[in-house]
Amino acid sequence: MTWVCADDLYPTLDLVVKGGGQVSGSPRLDNGERWLVEVEDPAGSRIGIVVPAGSPQSQTMLVVRDVEVSSRWYQELLGLQSGHGGADYERLLTAGRLVLQLHRDDVAHHHGRIGGDSERGTDDRGRGVLVWFGDVADFDAVVARAQQLQAPVVLAPHRNPPTGQGNGPGHRELWILDPDGYTVVVASTDGEAFEQPGAPG
């Protein structure tokens, strides 16, 4: 049997099924290092798929009033793409990688409501949470789009650390509010605002 390497498990299996193939059994973790799964192509030929096991990744989910409004806001601000769509739940992606999940606040799905109960005064949406997007190469363009979105500004574009105070992390930041009151931080690539040591501040 031929074995093929792939980068991601779910998107690969989804493509197999959409292409008329079948997934033969559940993927199995091999020695904690890789996923193995066998599939059949539309002609019935069996193929093995190998996907490296990843390390845990942050997959932030925000509870929002209007999923579609928030989805458009984040897509416009950061150039993300919809990976799910709909009024109740959204997955926002960049280059196929999950960046942010959005969930409607009054929809229980299989897990019950999340984010507090506004009828009892326990709506926690936006409190004590920073939604941080780092390594943003087109920082100036994001700042311009935030202005077009009329996003309330918490902290105007600034260098972190301030000029003359070193280089860790040596990037620029913009702090704004999203439609649900979450504080959104957009940070340029670390080192993008690098200063030559000893340069005047």
CA distance 10 to 67: 23
CATH of the domain at 93: 3.30.720.120
Q: Which of 11, 28, 52 is the last residue of a domain?
A: 52
Residue range 48-80, pLDDT digits in tens: 999 999 877 777 989 899 999 999 999 999 999
Q: Distance (Å, rounded) from C-alpha 105 to C-alpha 126?
A: 12
Same-domain check for residues 130 and 118: no
pLDDT at 112: 67
Domain limit, last residue, from 82, 101, 125: 125
Query: Residue type for 164, please?
Result: G
For residue 32, give both structure tokens: 């904690």
Specify the CATH number for the domain of residue 11: 3.10.180.10
Q: Using one digit for the tens of pLDDT, what is the confidence trace for 92-127?
A: 999 888 899 999 988 876 566 666 555 545 555 566
Q: pLDDT value at position 120? A: 46
Considering the domain architecture, whether residues 82 and 144 belong to the same structural domain is answered as: no
* Domain end call among 88, 110, 125: 125
> Using CA atoms, how far apart are residues 193 and 149, in angstroms rounded to an integer?
25
**High-pLDDT (> 90) share of the chain, %:** 59
Count of domains for the chain: 3
**Which contiguous run of DSSP H or E holds residue 177?**
strand 171-177
Shared domain check, 199 and 142: yes
**Do 9 and 63 fall within a single domain?**
no
Give residue 52's region: left, alpha or beta (phi > 0; psi -120 to 50): beta
Is 47 in the same domain as 72? Answer: no
| Residue 62 DSSP one-character state | E
One domain for residues 141 and 196: yes
pTM (two decimals): 0.74
- Give me the pLDDT at residue 8, please: 86
Q: Say yes or no: 115 and 142 in one domain.
A: no
- 93 and 134 co-located in one domain: no
Q: Which of 65, 137, 126, 75 is nearest to 100 (CA)?
A: 75
Residue 168 belongs to domain spanning: 126-201
Q: Are residues 141 and 172 in the same domain?
A: yes
Same domain (yes/no): 131, 173 = yes
- Strand partners of residue 186: 133, 174
Residue 192 tokens read as 């993008």
Residue-wise pLDDT tens digits, 79-93: 999 998 899 999 999
Residues 6+ apart with CB under 8 A from 172: 139, 157, 158, 159, 160, 187, 188, 192, 193
Do both 130 and 200 map to the same domain? yes
Any idea what the CATH number is for the domain that residue 191 is in?
3.30.720.110
